Amino acid sequence: MGLAIELDGLKALVTGSGQGVGLGIAKTISAAGAEVVVNDLSEERANAAADAIRTAGGKAVVSCFDVTRYDAVAAALAQLGGVDVLVNNAGNAGGLGWPGMKPFAETDPADWEPFLRVNLYGVMNCVRAVLPHMIAKGYGRIVTIVSDAGRIGESHMGAYCAAKAGAAGLTRGVAREVGRHGITVNNISLGTMRTPMSEAMWSNPDGPQAKALMKPYMIRRPGDPSDPAGLAAYLASPMASWITGQTFPVNGGYSVGQ
């Protein structure tokens, strides 16, 4: 008898799922039977992702809202009628990616704001918006994608580390509050991922920058968007009903190899 993750009858919101890790998770959750709400700031990306899910035989709808605006998040959730599963994937390393990395002593509050707004407040907004429906239903799954930068620390990334660590702490606090309502809340902590933002570097995996970045990893490759997707689907399922408040590293052995 085979063991399968089944999400039939559940509605799952995956933020930032128009591309990269979010899209990988959305596709896997859809394949397990959930109706996926594809969220992205770009309608073009979101529609393309939803089309890909439907082409594969899954169910998908599009909801484009900005996770940094609570009013927009709450309005979208009200229109959706609530969700059973939330995957907090939307995140950034600053609006332009990773440029301008510098020691924390050389930063100012304006440098911190993009990291905190998306990676911390965006998660808080979404969790706050989904909880009333989940509590009323007596069921819910919340999975937040955090980073090993927040668990271990990375130089020249202080604000990003703080934001991701804050999101992980939110998970633990909320998990204590809502477990009695049948809601589980967990984190998946990622190492360096291969995403559209970093694709130029991985086109030359033997280059000095890519090799230096991979040196601490036991598995000498960046993570693929599909790598955390199976775990996300499991944590979103009824099978994970007695797992909450935890952080699961998916990082090619990075944190052990330090």
Please report where in the chains the tokens 């590293």 appear, as a residue.
Answer: 249
State how far the Cα of 27 lies from the Cα of 42, in Å rounded to an integer.
18
The token duo for 18 is 């128009």
- Residues near 189 by Cβ (< 8 Å), separated by ≥ 6? 146, 147, 148, 150, 151, 168, 247, 248, 249, 250, 251, 255
Q: Is 160 a catalytic residue?
A: yes
Do the Cβ atoms of 192 and 219 come closer than 8 Å?
no
Catalytic residue among 160, 217, 234, 254: 160
Q: Between 158-178 and 122-137, two packed helices, what is the crossing angle to 10 degrees? A: 10
Q: Which residues belong to the active site? A: 160
